Amino acid sequence: MRIGIVCPYSWDVPGGVQFHIRDLAEYFIRLGHEVSVLAPADDDTPLPPYVVSAGRAVPVPYNGSVARLNFGFLSAARVRRWLHDGAFDVVHIHEPTSPSLGLLTCWAAEGPIVATFHTSNPRSRAMIAAYAILQAALEKISARIAVSEYARRTLVEHLGGDAVVIPNGVDVDFFAEAEPRPEWQGDTIGFIGRIDEPRKGLPVLMKALPKILAARPQTRLLVAGRGDEEEAVESLPKELRSRVEFLGMISDEDKARLLRSVDVYVAPNTGGESFGIILVEAMSAGAPVLASDLDAFAQVLDRGAAGELFANEDADALAEAAVRLLADPERRAELREHGSAHVRRFDWSTVGADILSVYETVTAGAAAVAADDRATGLRARFGLARD
């Protein structure tokens, strides 16, 4: 099958949607399919052979973050060229309502279109106002996927219609088989995310850290991600700042090794999450997870059976739960065991197969419609009546 996948966000600024698309493309390539991904990227950025640049992206505030999007006449021309050259059996657009390549592709593409909705947002006036513009493009979509029940709910409330829920995928064995790093082991808490993006929750964790260290002074916090490290520790007393180690941007291999090494992985995100891929990665690596009780996180963590939850934005509750987990190896072992079993439902062997079945359904439907149209044309040409 010839598969075209559209990434809305800049390929050279990593994020959950980009990682999902990368892993999905590589999963299908391993199965023998022909895959091309169209994504915003600087023209001088090294790209995998299956990624085609749609040109440089610009930063735009979006869903409590800053998304790097691509829109305009040049982008539209590149979309049309990519569609023409690809002659795809199916086009899979991610975030088709964002003002980026997905919407441009919706307008330009013909044939089967699958769309995945990643975002979880409250109903907004902007989305209501944009509906008239989006409607014509969205009507061309053959099948809709939402990565979680909360992304599906956003779609239903904002745009109507419905979607099948297929979660984000993870290569579970990649994380499960990673080797821990000794220097990252021993009374360690892990955090991975953009340091200077408030909704990722690092300020909440920093606020909780003094109480954690008061109870367990040997604990270290390991932070991986980009952002201003000095600003991140400004709220901490100076004598405690040495207990925070910033690792900067790390490779996928080191992310897996970090998650395999820490005693507890903390996800203190405060909102704007429709899934929680980092929770799945942490469970895959066997890290006991402590997360804010966002609805999407609670669902991923099997309502607290596969990981513990604390009240969102409550630093005291985070500190109490972290101290309790660090002091209880039996509970951590229990979470590892349940998480490792629970996470198998998110492995690409399951998720990829579900997405492929959606492709096969829409392409089969398109082929049936085309065959019926050809038969109708022949009957009309030769004056034959329909049976």
Rounded to the nearest 5°, which phi and psi values hold at 195? -65, -40
For each of the domains in the chain, give its residue range(s) and CATH number, in order of start: 2-169+347-378 (3.40.50.2000), 173-344 (3.40.50.2000)
The pLDDT of residue 33 = 98
Listed in sequence order, the residues at least 6 apart from 277 whose beta carbon sits closer than 8 Å to its beta carbon are 16, 19, 20, 168, 170
Q: Which residue has the tokens 């038969």?
A: 375
- Classify the C-alpha dihedral 311-317-319-323 as positive or negative: negative
The pLDDT of residue 378 = 46
Contacts for 324-330: CB closer than 8 Å, 24+ residues apart: 325/263, 325/264, 325/288, 325/290, 326/187, 326/189, 326/212, 326/216, 326/219, 326/263, 326/264, 327/216
CA–CA separation, 102 and 57 (whole Å): 13
The pLDDT of residue 278 = 95
Helix (H, G, I), strand (E, B) or coil at 286: coil
If the chain, 387 residues long, is cut into consecutive pieces of 10 residues, what is the mean pLDDT of each piece?
A: 94 86 97 96 87 80 58 83 97 88 89 90 54 74 92 82 93 97 97 93 98 98 95 95 96 97 98 91 98 94 95 98 98 96 96 97 78 54 49
